[in-house]
Amino acid sequence: MASGGQALNVPVLLAGYRFSPNNDDLIVYYLKRKILGQQLPADVIPTTDVYASSPDKLPLDDFKGGVPNEWFFFSTRSKDDNIIALDGGYYAIDPEGAGPITWEGKVVGYVKTLNFYQGSSPDGTETEWMVEEFRVNPEFVPVNNDDRSTQEKIQNLVACKISRVQPEPEWNWNSTFADAQVHRNLLTQSLTKGSYCCFGMDGIRERNSTSKHMKRLKDVRHFSPGSQIGSAWEKG
């Protein structure tokens, strides 16, 4: 709040921009300023209790302006337990996802990562949901010893990045090579008709040629990830 009890005039995210800050920016320009009641660069991070329910039941639509499968919230800090039980699942801390956050050579905060599992610990099934919880380093926030309200925020208020990590689609090698054979056949037909084909990521381009002699263009043309399709020949 600004002086006199008036709300700060917080700017909104500019049109055409997407909110996806670096870890240090999230702490320095958003979490720290939120704790101190200062104006934020953009009023885009809502507040909710991230650990009150499973990730898919959170008010994700309240966060707008981000990139797909990524949401940000201010929240109350999670418990220090390795397991946080919820209705229908639980969060488990990922020990490899914890560490300090530095900015201009200073430790400004810390992050820990929690993966969400369905079922009961320790036999739950890992889901595609995860939370990265960012808290500020108390030494980075200037506060008076008698300012109990700010001190409480330093200890309990965090910024959370919720991600839905969808698995990569499996590559169908049989389909890939079948497509390659089709394009080889098209190439052969094209050469017999007095023209040539070039392979690219956008498919096949065919142009007419009136020359009587063929020369090899390049040994390999890439058509799709993980596949190499024949050679292109040109009449020249």
Domain extents for the chain? 9-164, 173-235
Q: What share of the chain is helix, strand, coil (3-state, %, to 5)?
A: 25, 35, 40
How far apart CA 123 and CA 61 sit, in angstroms, is: 31
Q: Is the pLDDT of residue 192 over 60?
A: no
Write the CATH number of the domain with boundaries 9-164. 2.170.150.80
Per the structure block, which two tokens stand in for 154? 């330093």
Return the closest-CA partner of residue 89 out of 140, 62, 51, 136. Answer: 51
pLDDT in tens, 147-173: 999 999 999 999 999 999 877 666 665
What burial class does residue 159 get, using C-beta atoms within 10 Å of its C-beta: 0-12 exposed, 13-18 middle, 19+ buried?
buried
Work out the angle at residue 129's Cα, subtended by the Cα atoms of residues 84 and 64, and round it to the nearest 5 degrees: 110
How far apart CA 188 and CA 171 sit, in angstroms, is: 27
Length of the chain: 236
pLDDT in tens, 1-56: 444 444 444 567 777 789 999 999 999 999 999 999 999 999 999 999 999 999 99
Q: Is the pLDDT of residue 186 over 90?
A: no
Q: Is the dihedral of CA 15, 19, 24, 29 positive or negative?
A: positive
